[in-house]
Amino acid sequence: MIEIHNLTKHFDNVKAVDDVSVSIREKTVFGLIGTNGAGKSTVLRMLSGVLKPDEGTVAVDNMPVYDNVEAKKKLFFIADEPYFFANANAGTMEHYYSGIFEDFNKLEFYQYLDKFELDKNRKIGTFSKGMKKQLALLLGICSHTKYILCDETFDGLDPVMRQGIKSIFAKEMEERGLTPVIASHNLRELEDICDHVGLLHKGGVLLSKDLEDMKCNIQKVQCVFSSVDDELKALNGIDVLKKEQRGSLCTITVRSTREEVEARFATVDTIFYEVLPLSLEEIFISETEVVGYDIKKLILG
Protein backbone atom coordinates (compact mmCIF):
# COMPACT_ATOMS: atom_id res chain seq x y z
CA MET A 1 0.00 0.00 0.00
CA ILE A 2 1.13 3.54 -0.76
CA GLU A 3 0.46 6.19 1.88
CA ILE A 4 0.91 9.90 1.11
CA HIS A 5 0.42 12.31 4.02
CA ASN A 6 0.44 16.13 3.87
CA LEU A 7 2.82 16.18 0.91
CA THR A 8 4.11 19.64 -0.05
CA LYS A 9 6.72 20.79 -2.57
CA HIS A 10 7.92 24.26 -3.55
CA PHE A 11 10.00 25.37 -6.51
CA ASP A 12 11.31 28.80 -5.54
CA ASN A 13 8.13 30.79 -4.80
CA VAL A 14 5.80 28.36 -6.57
CA LYS A 15 3.93 25.78 -4.48
CA ALA A 16 3.67 22.88 -6.92
CA VAL A 17 2.10 20.44 -4.45
CA ASP A 18 0.02 21.67 -1.53
CA ASP A 19 -0.72 19.37 1.42
CA VAL A 20 -1.68 16.27 -0.59
CA SER A 21 -2.90 13.19 1.30
CA VAL A 22 -3.87 10.04 -0.60
CA SER A 23 -3.93 6.28 0.08
CA ILE A 24 -3.42 3.87 -2.82
CA ARG A 25 -4.56 0.30 -2.24
CA GLU A 26 -2.73 -2.70 -3.65
CA LYS A 27 -3.99 -4.48 -6.80
CA THR A 28 -6.05 -1.49 -7.93
CA VAL A 29 -5.56 1.07 -10.68
CA PHE A 30 -5.28 4.57 -9.23
CA GLY A 31 -5.88 7.44 -11.65
CA LEU A 32 -4.46 10.86 -10.82
CA ILE A 33 -6.35 13.41 -12.88
CA GLY A 34 -5.45 17.06 -13.34
CA THR A 35 -4.70 19.79 -15.84
CA ASN A 36 -1.16 20.58 -16.93
CA GLY A 37 0.49 22.31 -14.00
CA ALA A 38 -1.82 20.76 -11.39
CA GLY A 39 1.11 18.96 -9.73
CA LYS A 40 0.65 15.40 -11.05
CA SER A 41 4.24 14.92 -12.24
CA THR A 42 5.68 16.39 -9.04
CA VAL A 43 3.57 14.01 -6.92
CA LEU A 44 4.77 11.03 -8.96
CA ARG A 45 8.40 12.13 -8.71
CA MET A 46 8.14 12.39 -4.93
CA LEU A 47 6.31 9.06 -4.83
CA SER A 48 9.12 7.43 -6.81
CA GLY A 49 11.83 9.03 -4.66
CA VAL A 50 13.22 11.24 -7.43
CA LEU A 51 12.30 14.40 -5.50
CA LYS A 52 12.43 15.00 -1.77
CA PRO A 53 9.26 16.51 -0.25
CA ASP A 54 9.58 19.83 1.55
CA GLU A 55 6.92 18.64 3.99
CA GLY A 56 4.93 15.46 4.51
CA THR A 57 5.71 11.78 4.00
CA VAL A 58 5.54 9.13 1.30
CA ALA A 59 5.60 5.47 2.35
CA VAL A 60 5.50 2.32 0.22
CA ASP A 61 4.56 -0.78 2.19
CA ASN A 62 5.39 1.16 5.39
CA MET A 63 8.85 2.18 4.11
CA PRO A 64 9.84 5.79 3.38
CA VAL A 65 10.76 6.14 -0.29
CA TYR A 66 13.29 8.93 -0.54
CA ASP A 67 16.89 7.66 -0.37
CA ASN A 68 15.64 4.13 0.39
CA VAL A 69 16.87 1.42 -1.99
CA GLU A 70 14.58 -1.30 -0.62
CA ALA A 71 11.47 0.82 -1.14
CA LYS A 72 12.55 1.84 -4.65
CA LYS A 73 12.91 -1.81 -5.67
CA LYS A 74 9.12 -1.98 -5.48
CA LEU A 75 8.64 0.95 -7.90
CA PHE A 76 9.12 1.61 -11.60
CA PHE A 77 8.59 5.22 -12.68
CA ILE A 78 7.82 6.17 -16.30
CA ALA A 79 8.14 9.89 -16.92
CA ASP A 80 6.06 11.83 -19.45
CA GLU A 81 9.17 11.88 -21.66
CA PRO A 82 11.00 8.60 -20.87
CA TYR A 83 14.78 8.75 -20.62
CA PHE A 84 16.97 6.41 -22.64
CA PHE A 85 20.75 6.31 -22.98
CA ALA A 86 22.24 8.06 -26.02
CA ASN A 87 22.57 5.69 -29.01
CA ALA A 88 20.86 2.91 -27.01
CA ASN A 89 18.55 0.28 -28.45
CA ALA A 90 15.94 -1.86 -26.67
CA GLY A 91 18.54 -4.51 -25.92
CA THR A 92 20.79 -1.96 -24.24
CA MET A 93 17.96 -0.79 -21.97
CA GLU A 94 17.00 -4.38 -21.14
CA HIS A 95 20.59 -5.08 -20.07
CA TYR A 96 20.54 -1.97 -17.86
CA TYR A 97 17.18 -2.60 -16.16
CA SER A 98 17.73 -6.34 -15.73
CA GLY A 99 20.85 -5.41 -13.74
CA ILE A 100 18.76 -3.20 -11.42
CA PHE A 101 15.58 -5.22 -10.98
CA GLU A 102 16.32 -8.80 -9.97
CA ASP A 103 12.94 -10.08 -11.16
CA PHE A 104 13.23 -8.58 -14.67
CA ASN A 105 11.82 -11.11 -17.15
CA LYS A 106 14.04 -11.02 -20.25
CA LEU A 107 12.12 -13.67 -22.19
CA GLU A 108 8.82 -11.87 -21.61
CA PHE A 109 10.38 -8.54 -22.64
CA TYR A 110 11.58 -9.78 -26.03
CA GLN A 111 8.28 -11.55 -26.63
CA TYR A 112 6.48 -8.26 -26.03
CA LEU A 113 8.89 -6.46 -28.37
CA ASP A 114 7.90 -8.88 -31.14
CA LYS A 115 4.18 -8.45 -30.41
CA PHE A 116 4.47 -4.66 -30.49
CA GLU A 117 6.76 -4.81 -33.55
CA LEU A 118 9.59 -2.91 -31.86
CA ASP A 119 13.03 -3.71 -33.32
CA LYS A 120 15.41 -4.60 -30.46
CA ASN A 121 18.42 -3.47 -32.49
CA ARG A 122 17.05 -0.17 -33.77
CA LYS A 123 18.33 2.98 -32.04
CA ILE A 124 15.67 4.37 -29.74
CA GLY A 125 16.51 7.90 -30.93
CA THR A 126 14.84 7.03 -34.24
CA PHE A 127 11.62 5.86 -32.52
CA SER A 128 8.44 7.92 -32.63
CA LYS A 129 6.99 9.33 -29.40
CA GLY A 130 4.46 6.51 -29.26
CA MET A 131 7.11 3.84 -29.79
CA LYS A 132 9.22 5.30 -26.97
CA LYS A 133 6.18 5.21 -24.67
CA GLN A 134 5.54 1.59 -25.62
CA LEU A 135 9.15 0.63 -24.92
CA ALA A 136 9.16 2.40 -21.54
CA LEU A 137 5.94 0.65 -20.55
CA LEU A 138 7.27 -2.77 -21.57
CA LEU A 139 10.47 -2.20 -19.60
CA GLY A 140 8.38 -1.23 -16.58
CA ILE A 141 6.03 -4.18 -16.87
CA CYS A 142 8.86 -6.69 -17.36
CA SER A 143 10.78 -5.31 -14.37
CA HIS A 144 8.08 -7.03 -12.28
CA THR A 145 7.96 -4.35 -9.63
CA LYS A 146 4.94 -4.25 -7.35
CA TYR A 147 4.03 -0.69 -8.36
CA ILE A 148 4.33 1.05 -11.73
CA LEU A 149 4.02 4.84 -11.81
CA CYS A 150 3.00 6.25 -15.17
CA ASP A 151 3.00 9.94 -16.11
CA GLU A 152 0.68 10.57 -19.09
CA THR A 153 1.04 6.88 -20.02
CA PHE A 154 -1.29 6.77 -22.98
CA ASP A 155 -0.39 10.15 -24.48
CA GLY A 156 1.04 9.46 -27.93
CA LEU A 157 -0.36 5.92 -28.20
CA ASP A 158 -2.97 5.05 -30.80
CA PRO A 159 -6.25 3.43 -29.61
CA VAL A 160 -5.10 -0.12 -30.46
CA MET A 161 -1.87 0.27 -28.50
CA ARG A 162 -3.75 1.81 -25.55
CA GLN A 163 -6.01 -1.22 -25.35
CA GLY A 164 -3.00 -3.50 -25.67
CA ILE A 165 -1.26 -1.88 -22.70
CA LYS A 166 -4.46 -1.86 -20.64
CA SER A 167 -4.86 -5.58 -21.33
CA ILE A 168 -1.30 -6.24 -20.16
CA PHE A 169 -1.96 -4.23 -16.97
CA ALA A 170 -5.09 -6.32 -16.31
CA LYS A 171 -3.14 -9.54 -16.86
CA GLU A 172 -0.27 -8.49 -14.58
CA MET A 173 -2.70 -7.36 -11.87
CA GLU A 174 -4.45 -10.71 -11.91
CA GLU A 175 -1.30 -12.85 -12.08
CA ARG A 176 1.07 -11.06 -9.71
CA GLY A 177 -0.80 -8.20 -8.04
CA LEU A 178 0.61 -5.26 -10.01
CA THR A 179 -0.61 -1.84 -8.84
CA PRO A 180 -0.55 0.84 -11.58
CA VAL A 181 -0.69 4.53 -10.66
CA ILE A 182 -1.56 6.56 -13.76
CA ALA A 183 -1.43 10.35 -14.04
CA SER A 184 -3.33 11.95 -16.90
CA HIS A 185 -4.98 15.20 -17.92
CA ASN A 186 -7.61 13.26 -19.84
CA LEU A 187 -10.56 11.69 -18.00
CA ARG A 188 -11.61 9.68 -21.03
CA GLU A 189 -8.28 7.83 -21.17
CA LEU A 190 -8.89 6.35 -17.70
CA GLU A 191 -12.62 5.68 -18.03
CA ASP A 192 -12.37 1.91 -18.46
CA ILE A 193 -9.32 1.07 -16.34
CA CYS A 194 -9.33 2.92 -13.00
CA ASP A 195 -10.67 1.61 -9.70
CA HIS A 196 -9.99 4.80 -7.72
CA VAL A 197 -9.57 8.34 -9.03
CA GLY A 198 -8.06 11.44 -7.46
CA LEU A 199 -8.59 14.90 -8.92
CA LEU A 200 -5.64 17.26 -8.46
CA HIS A 201 -6.16 21.01 -8.82
CA LYS A 202 -3.66 23.77 -8.09
CA GLY A 203 -1.40 21.34 -6.25
CA GLY A 204 -4.09 19.97 -3.92
CA VAL A 205 -6.46 16.99 -4.03
CA LEU A 206 -9.92 18.28 -4.83
CA LEU A 207 -11.54 14.86 -4.83
CA SER A 208 -10.41 11.27 -4.16
CA LYS A 209 -13.00 8.52 -4.41
CA ASP A 210 -13.54 4.91 -5.38
CA LEU A 211 -14.92 4.90 -8.91
CA GLU A 212 -17.38 2.07 -8.33
CA ASP A 213 -18.77 3.84 -5.25
CA MET A 214 -19.24 7.01 -7.26
CA LYS A 215 -21.00 5.12 -10.05
CA CYS A 216 -23.29 3.34 -7.56
CA ASN A 217 -24.21 6.50 -5.68
CA ILE A 218 -24.94 8.88 -8.55
CA GLN A 219 -27.70 8.17 -11.06
CA LYS A 220 -28.92 9.91 -14.19
CA VAL A 221 -32.64 9.66 -14.92
CA GLN A 222 -34.43 10.65 -18.12
CA CYS A 223 -38.16 10.91 -17.73
CA VAL A 224 -41.43 12.51 -18.74
CA PHE A 225 -43.74 13.13 -15.79
CA SER A 226 -47.51 12.93 -16.17
CA SER A 227 -47.98 16.07 -14.06
CA VAL A 228 -46.13 18.69 -12.05
CA ASP A 229 -47.40 17.05 -8.86
CA ASP A 230 -45.79 13.75 -9.87
CA GLU A 231 -42.50 15.54 -10.50
CA LEU A 232 -42.59 17.25 -7.12
CA LYS A 233 -43.43 13.97 -5.39
CA ALA A 234 -40.61 12.09 -7.15
CA LEU A 235 -37.97 14.70 -6.34
CA ASN A 236 -39.10 15.65 -2.84
CA GLY A 237 -36.40 14.79 -0.31
CA ILE A 238 -33.95 13.41 -2.88
CA ASP A 239 -30.50 14.98 -3.41
CA VAL A 240 -30.77 16.48 -6.92
CA LEU A 241 -27.35 17.44 -8.25
CA LYS A 242 -28.50 18.64 -11.66
CA LYS A 243 -31.77 19.05 -13.54
CA GLU A 244 -32.28 19.90 -17.21
CA GLN A 245 -35.60 20.37 -18.98
CA ARG A 246 -36.06 20.11 -22.75
CA GLY A 247 -39.72 20.35 -23.57
CA SER A 248 -41.42 17.65 -21.54
CA LEU A 249 -38.23 15.55 -21.23
CA CYS A 250 -36.50 15.92 -17.89
CA THR A 251 -32.89 14.80 -17.29
CA ILE A 252 -32.04 14.60 -13.59
CA THR A 253 -28.77 13.67 -11.90
CA VAL A 254 -29.31 12.54 -8.30
CA ARG A 255 -27.14 11.25 -5.47
CA SER A 256 -28.79 7.93 -4.73
CA THR A 257 -28.56 4.21 -5.50
CA ARG A 258 -30.27 2.78 -8.55
CA GLU A 259 -32.58 0.74 -6.33
CA GLU A 260 -33.70 3.81 -4.38
CA VAL A 261 -34.37 5.74 -7.60
CA GLU A 262 -36.40 2.92 -9.13
CA ALA A 263 -38.41 2.47 -5.92
CA ARG A 264 -39.21 6.19 -5.75
CA PHE A 265 -40.24 6.49 -9.41
CA ALA A 266 -42.46 3.42 -9.05
CA THR A 267 -44.67 5.46 -6.69
CA VAL A 268 -45.41 8.26 -9.21
CA ASP A 269 -47.08 8.40 -12.59
CA THR A 270 -44.63 8.83 -15.50
CA ILE A 271 -45.18 8.61 -19.23
CA PHE A 272 -41.60 7.39 -19.56
CA TYR A 273 -38.49 7.00 -17.42
CA GLU A 274 -35.13 5.17 -17.50
CA VAL A 275 -32.00 5.16 -15.37
CA LEU A 276 -28.91 5.70 -17.53
CA PRO A 277 -25.24 4.88 -16.85
CA LEU A 278 -22.96 7.87 -16.25
CA SER A 279 -19.56 8.36 -17.79
CA LEU A 280 -16.55 9.17 -15.59
CA GLU A 281 -16.72 12.69 -17.00
CA GLU A 282 -20.34 13.14 -15.94
CA ILE A 283 -19.63 11.76 -12.46
CA PHE A 284 -16.76 14.19 -11.92
CA ILE A 285 -18.78 17.11 -13.24
CA SER A 286 -21.51 16.30 -10.72
CA GLU A 287 -19.11 15.80 -7.80
CA THR A 288 -17.03 18.92 -8.39
CA GLU A 289 -19.93 21.25 -9.10
CA VAL A 290 -21.25 20.41 -5.64
CA VAL A 291 -18.05 21.76 -4.06
CA GLY A 292 -18.05 24.87 -6.23
CA TYR A 293 -15.75 23.94 -9.12
CA ASP A 294 -16.49 23.67 -12.82
CA ILE A 295 -14.56 20.60 -13.97
CA LYS A 296 -15.38 21.42 -17.58
CA LYS A 297 -12.97 24.34 -17.23
CA LEU A 298 -10.45 22.38 -15.14
CA ILE A 299 -10.18 19.21 -17.22
CA LEU A 300 -12.36 19.27 -20.30
CA GLY A 301 -11.88 22.71 -21.73
Do 178 and 282 lie in a common domain?
no
| Cα–Cα distance for residue pair 33/198, rounded to 1 Å | 6
Looking at residue 96, which CATH number applies to its domain? 3.40.50.300
Do 190 and 245 lie in a common domain?
no
Domain boundary among 175, 202, 229: 202
Domain assignment present for 209: no
Neighbours of 141 (CB within 10 A): 23
**Which pLDDT belongs to residue 299?**
52
Q: What is the DSSP letter of 187?
A: G
Do 198 and 222 lie in a common domain?
no
Domain assignment present for 227: yes
Do 191 and 267 lie in a common domain?
no
pTM for this predicted structure: 0.81
Neighbours of 65 (CB within 10 A): 23
Do 276 and 144 lie in a common domain?
no
Domain assignment present for 208: no
**Which pLDDT belongs to residue 301?**
45
| Cα–Cα distance for residue pair 258/263, rounded to 1 Å | 9
Whole domain around residue 95: which residue ranges?
2-202
Give the residues across from 174 on adjacent strands. none
Answer for the pair 20, 7: CB distance below 8 angstroms, yes or no.
yes
Nearest alpha-carbon partner for 248 in 274, 270, 272, 224:
224
Total structural domains within the chain:
2
Do 169 and 280 lie in a common domain?
no
Instruction: Work out the burial of residue 50: count CB atoms within 10 Å of its CB; fewer than 13 is exposed, 13-18 middle, 19 or more buried.
Output: middle
In the 3-class helix/strand/coil scheme, how is 209-221 assigned residue by residue?
EEHHHHHHHEEEE
Do 129 and 16 lie in a common domain?
yes
**Which pLDDT belongs to residue 1?**
92
List the chain pLDDT tens, one digit each, 301 residues: 999 999 999 998 888 998 899 999 999 999 988 777 788 899 999 999 999 999 999 999 999 999 999 999 999 999 988 999 999 999 999 999 999 999 999 999 999 999 999 999 999 999 999 999 999 999 999 999 999 999 988 877 888 888 889 899 999 999 999 999 999 887 777 777 888 988 887 777 777 878 787 777 889 999 999 999 999 998 888 888 888 999 999 999 988 888 999 988 888 999 988 998 887 777 777 766 665 555 555 554 4
| Cα–Cα distance for residue pair 193/66, rounded to 1 Å | 29
Side-chain half-sphere exposure of 275, counting CA atoms within 13 A: 18
Do 38 and 153 lie in a common domain?
yes
**Which pLDDT belongs to residue 14?**
87
Domain assignment present for 279: yes
Do 195 and 237 lie in a common domain?
no
Do 153 and 42 lie in a common domain?
yes
Do 260 and 184 lie in a common domain?
no
